[in-house]
Structure 1
Amino acid sequence: MTVAAEALAGRSARRRVRETVVTHVCLVIGVLIFAFPIYLALIGSTHTSGTIGRGDVPLLPGPDAVANYAQAWGIGGGRFMGVPAGGMLLNSLLMASLIAVGKIAISLTSAYAIAFFRFPGRMVFFWLIFITLMLPVEVRIIPTFQVMVSLGMTNSMAGLVIPLIASATATLLFRQFFLTIPDEYVEAAKIDGAGPVRFFFDVLLPLSRTNIAALFVILFIYGWNQYLWPLLIVNDRSLETIVVGLTKMIGSGDAQNEWNVIMATAVLAMVPPVGVVLLMQRWFVRGLTETEK
């Protein structure tokens, strides 16, 4: 029995080793697939446009990083010469931050009302919010654009942000979280004389902070990656976002593209969302995995 048990344990250990090796090999391959294009953009941003234009794919850094990033930040490049990446980054940062904060604020209050207040039509409002998840952006974008035009909100930061700050997904997530809060919390707040507003700020918000942090990261990246709506609502170059600006820097046909500046701009465009993820990763992971309230 001892020999058989030892043999079985040895086979189990070898199987675990094989599974670990296969898992790590797959993980490394996946990382390389995702990271290699980013590495090429980073390396390409340090070479001259001629080097990249010849079809060479340099794998080592070049000597022109400072000049390329200075041009991208200060004056732009390609068809967007004169529109610096610094301004587009600021526009994107402001838009993404306002979208994330606005979505969270509206979702928190709407989920609070649906979860804790009893009024006629409460579930009707919830399902109306939920149904909007089934409508693709393309279905809503033309009517939304017409509303913005009628309100005179084209070519404005308000026009960029306001149509995007409602979030059925965040409302659903906050509602589900609020439903897990014990009724004793509500009863204790009533005994202490806390009204709905005080209960919201003193009890619900502290309990929701990890969820808020996780959603902020997701919603910030959502706002940062917006392309179709900013392309439609803005034609003023001073309000261009970095994602739209990048595509407009690339000429069509036989146009000579400054690929070094374009790649430098692409690298700069990655910095804010990566920074947000790195700064908030601890709260982000807790918000996604924490189940005990």
Structure 2
Amino acid sequence: MVENRPFLSFLTHLVLIAGVLIVVFPVYLAFVASTHADGEFLSGLVPLLPGPNLVENYWHMLTVGISTAGAPPLWIMLTNSLIIAICIAVGKIIISLLSAYAIVFFKFPFRLLAFWIIFITLMLPVEVRIIPTFKVVADLGLLNSYVGLTLPLIASATATFLFRQFFLTIPDELMEAARVDGAGPLKFFRDILLPLSRTNIAALFVILFIYGWVQYLWPLLVTTDSRYYTVVMGIKRLAATADGEPQWHLVMAAVMLAMLPPVLVVIFMQRLFVKGLVETEK
């Protein structure tokens, strides 16, 4: 039984509030910086209240950008990042679902070995095999393309492992009942396994979407055309201008806009995300 002690309850809430303030305060400073004019943050004084240039700064970044940074307008980079994040998340989930389904429900030689070969690839992320991966992509002529940006990142041993562990909890009686009712492998997968995996899919989609959204090293290698720049690449270019001081008010506006899509995904899928992480019975 948990005792109700007012002091401990107050202390717990105080620690939680302090933690929230520590996390939120830098984000608030970035938002404040994005609403002021050029040079406000270079004077040595950090304003703590929003300025009058919010609409002007955000509109300028979305439609014009910073020409000296060599990056296109932000809406192009946001669109590229959104396409890449969705393709990576959806591609990883589809491939992982099918591979886990084959490993668990189909009897074929060396299926356990096939699973462990997939699982061992966790020790070989893109950063480790980046040179041969880049050579393959270049030889196939996939540089400066959405296929080249997403295809090498689609396979996921982690998602395959998670779906496999969930599929192992499905009772054999359910599969036998579906077979008696005349359901083939695809119908069993579509009508039974996919609805049961809904919360797991939602949780993984949030994680994988953010994983695709924040990709920096791989897009930096395979893109030389500014039309395919991602928003993370764009922010790096904005903050590292060769001539003069960075225009921090515009950089912070880009940061706030880049943060918006992942936050919206987490907010709208929060219920399914938490349910998929903590639910033990379907």
Return the match for 2:83 from 68, 75, 94. 94
- Note closer, same or farther for the CA distance 1:81–1:59 as it changes in structure 2 (3 Å cut): farther
- Note closer, same or farther for the CA distance 1:272–1:207 as it changes in structure 2 (3 Å cut): same
* 1:160-239 aligned within 5 A: 160-239=149-228
The answer on whether the counterparts of 1:110 and 1:171 sit within 8 Å (CA) in structure 2 is yes
What one-letter code is carried by the residue in structure 2 that aligns with 1:123? L
* In 2: Cα distance, 1:82 partner to 1:122 partner: 47
Secondary structure, counterpart of 1:214 in structure 2: helix
* In 1: Cα distance, 2:214 partner to 2:240 partner: 21
* In 1: Cα distance, 2:64 partner to 2:201 partner: 37
What one-letter code is carried by the residue in structure 2 that aligns with 1:116? F
* In 2: Cα distance, 1:232 partner to 1:26 partner: 43
Q: Where does residue 260 of structure 2 map in the other structure?
A: 271
* Residue segments in structure 2 that go unaligned for 5+ positions in a row: none
Q: Where does residue 41 of structure 1 map in the other structure?
A: 30
**1:112-146 per-position Cα deviation (integer Å, ceiling 9, x unaligned):** 00111110010111000110112243211111111
* In 1: Cα distance, 2:100 partner to 2:199 partner: 16
Measured after TM superposition, the shift of residue 70 of structure 1 is 0.9
What one-letter code is carried by the residue in structure 1 that aligns with 2:148? G
Measured after TM superposition, the shift of residue 82 of structure 1 is 6.0
1:54 aligns with 2:43: yes
What one-letter code is carried by the residue in structure 1 that aligns with 2:107? R
Q: Where does residue 129 of structure 1 map in the other structure?
A: 118
What one-letter code is carried by the residue in structure 1 that aligns with 2:279? E
* In 1: Cα distance, 2:240 partner to 2:260 partner: 24
Determine what percentage of the aligned residue pairs are the same residue: 60
* In 1: Cα distance, 2:86 partner to 2:47 partner: 36
1:21 aligns with 2:21: no
Measured after TM superposition, the shift of residue 61 of structure 1 is 0.6
The answer on whether the counterparts of 1:217 and 1:277 sit within 8 Å (CA) in structure 2 is yes
Measured after TM superposition, the shift of residue 260 of structure 1 is 0.6
- Note closer, same or farther for the CA distance 1:85–1:42 as it changes in structure 2 (3 Å cut): same
TM-score, with structure 1 as normaliser = 0.92
Measured after TM superposition, the shift of residue 289 of structure 1 is 1.4
* In 1: Cα distance, 2:276 partner to 2:41 partner: 43
* In 2: Cα distance, 1:280 partner to 1:235 partner: 34
* In 1: Cα distance, 2:243 partner to 2:25 partner: 27
Return the match for 2:249 from 253, 260, 266. 260
* In 1: Cα distance, 2:58 partner to 2:44 partner: 21
Measured after TM superposition, the shift of residue 79 of structure 1 is 3.3
What one-letter code is carried by the residue in structure 2 that aligns with 1:47? H
* In 1: Cα distance, 2:89 partner to 2:261 partner: 14
Q: Where does residue 3 of structure 1 map in the other structure?
A: none
Secondary structure, counterpart of 2:127 in structure 1: helix
- Note closer, same or farther for the CA distance 1:225–1:71 as it changes in structure 2 (3 Å cut): same
**1:13-55 per-position Cα deviation (integer Å, ceiling 9, x unaligned):** 4xx3332222222212221121111101101000011112222
* Residue segments in structure 1 that go unaligned for 5+ positions in a row: 1-8
Q: Give the aligned CA root-mean-square deviation in angstroms.
A: 1.6
What one-letter code is carried by the residue in structure 2 that aligns with 1:56? L
* In 2: Cα distance, 1:140 partner to 1:50 partner: 43
| Bigger Cα Rg | 1
Q: Where does residue 154 of structure 1 map in the other structure?
A: 143
* In 2: Cα distance, 1:288 partner to 1:276 partner: 16
* In 2: Cα distance, 1:255 partner to 1:128 partner: 51
TM-score, with structure 2 as normaliser = 0.96
What one-letter code is carried by the residue in structure 2 that aligns with 1:227? Y
The answer on whether the counterparts of 1:49 and 1:259 sit within 8 Å (CA) in structure 2 is yes
